[in-house]
Amino acid sequence: MILTLLLAAAAVAAVEAQRLVIGERAPELRIREWMGGSGLTEGRPSLVEFVVSTSAPSVRRVAPLKALAARYRGRLDVVLVAKEAPDKIAPLVGDRGALLIGIDDGGKSYAAFGVQYVPFAVLIDGRGRVVWSGNPSSLDEQQIDDVL
């Protein structure tokens, strides 16, 4: 019986993780507060990455995200999304540069995007369609260039 329950829970998690479909419209980001910025630019592709300040892999992703934001400034919105309060995220990011930082509205963005682990990233084209999603360490810059 325990095995059946575990298998059912795994099936539900797998369905949840399949919420994003390549080529389909991305869910709307539900951001309660933008830190030092005004949010996404309409019609511009975006790379959205979900992180948690207490996750070592998330912490390691901040520098590469800042570098991507600087490299693609004006052509790609690079967004870090966190569920934590701004005072927890600010020390993690430091000088944000061109990086956009959004504080999730009560976990609504995490839920809409089906985030099961962090860091988790989604590449969205200028028409709002999901182009790629998954572990950001497997995203290559050629994929970003192809969207631009």
Q: Is residue 52 part of a domain?
A: yes
Q: Where do we find the tokens 């995007």? A: 113
pLDDT band of 26, cuts 50, 70, 90: very high
Q: Is residue 45 part of a domain?
A: yes
Residue 34 has pLDDT above 50, yes or no: yes
Residue 4 has pLDDT above 70, yes or no: no
Residue 13 has pLDDT above 50, yes or no: no
Q: Is residue 36 part of a domain?
A: yes
Q: Is residue 79 part of a domain?
A: yes
- How does pLDDT run across 84-143, given as a tens digit for each residue? 999 999 998 988 999 999 999 999 999 999 999 999 999 999 999 999 999 999 999 999
CATH number, residue 78? 3.40.30.10
Range of the domain at 94: 20-147
DSSP track, 124-147: E-TTSBEEEEE-GGG--HHHHHHH
Classify strands 77-82 and 100-104 as parallel, antiparallel or unpaired.
parallel
- Nearest partner of 79 among 116, 28, 21, 15, judged by Cα: 28
CA neighbours closer than 13 Å in the CB half-sphere of residue 18: 6
pLDDT, position 140: 93
Q: Is residue 1 part of a domain?
A: no
Q: Is residue 2 part of a domain?
A: no
pLDDT, position 126: 97
- 71: how many CB neighbours lie within 10 A of its CB? 13
pLDDT band of 2, cuts 50, 70, 90: low
DSSP, collapsed to helix, strand or coil, labels residue 52 as coil
Rounded percentage of the chain residues whose pLDDT exceeds 90: 81
Q: Is residue 126 part of a domain?
A: yes
Can you name the residues that pair with 46 across neighbouring β-strands?
Answer: 77, 124
Q: Is residue 29 part of a domain?
A: yes
Domains contained in the chain, number:
1
